[in-house]
Amino acid sequence: MKHCLLSWWRRCFARDANANFAAVDWGRLCRQIPLLQGLNGDELEQLQRLALQFLRQKSITPLGVRPRPEQLAAMALQACLPILYLGLDWYRNFYEIILLPAPVERHEELAFGEGWQEEGSSHLGEAWEQGPVVLVWPEVLHDGQWDGYHLVIHELVHKLDMLADGVANGMPPERPGVPIARWQRELETVYAEVCRCHEAAQACCLDEQACDGLDELFAIASECFFSQPLALQAQFPELYRLLALWYQQDPAQRQPRETRRRHGHAALAG
């Protein structure tokens, strides 16, 4: 019964949402999102086409939240920014985005000495292997600024990462000009430097969560690449160059100089 009700809700939401997207003023919406500053007319048209396809192809399941069509359209525009020059097929490994009102709480038992200790963690987003993307809706509404933080991009980059072999490990599919061996060397070099910076309490444009592994480093570096590119370019120029080749974009050319952050990074998603 529960499954039937959820399926009914999804069908009704998809029908209503698709009808309402036709009324969205996409041009005005693009102008309201700082991260889209600097995109030329052709790029904005392509981004809008991708966003519409994204909303039609993906099942958006709001649980306990009521997003407006223009809010979902803004989410879709930003979700498609990383694949602006790649295409929607790069998101082929998921079909659903679940929107929640509050962080996901996880509890697990960890070995501690001779016993076990329970640890809890709070997640603003999750990208499940062979499953949906889960996002906390109030956090999604904060996306779009030049602040080094972007929940939607973070989680969808995990999905890009999984395309190569089904798991998130920081090793996405090769792209022209970015052989995987070179990519891995640079990621490992940056990983060591990020960990050193945080251990020494030194300023770093990448959050400490990047020290959790190469998968988190790739996701965090990517959201910084799109939402604080000048800082990433200044501190890790080779990584920035490889990301620019991988995504076929140069967002540092789009970011207003006065919005560059020089210290630290906001708390990030899981």
Instruction: Please name each of the domains of the chain with its CATH number.
Output: 2-107+116-144 (1.10.472.150), 158-259 (3.40.390.10)
3-state secondary structure of 27: helix
DSSP string, 239-258: HHHHHHHHHT--GGGTS-GG
Res 142: pLDDT:
96
Q: In angstroms, rounded to a whole number, what is the distance separating the alpha carbons of residues 44 and 64?
A: 32
Task: Count CB neighbours of 22 within 10 A.
Answer: 8
How far apart CA 217 and CA 209 sit, in angstroms, is 8
Which pLDDT score is estimated for 108?
A: 54
Residue 113: its pLDDT value, please?
57
Q: State residue 106's pLDDT score.
A: 64
Using one digit for the tens of pLDDT, what is the confidence trace for 120-154?
Answer: 466 688 988 889 999 999 999 999 999 999 999 99
CB 252 within 8 A of CB 229: yes
For the chain, residues with pLDDT lower than 70 are: 1-19, 106-123, 262-270
Cα 136 from Cα 149, distance rounded (Å) = 14
Query: What is the pTM (predicted TM-score) of this model?
Result: 0.87
Q: Which two tokens stand for residue 223?
A: 């959201």
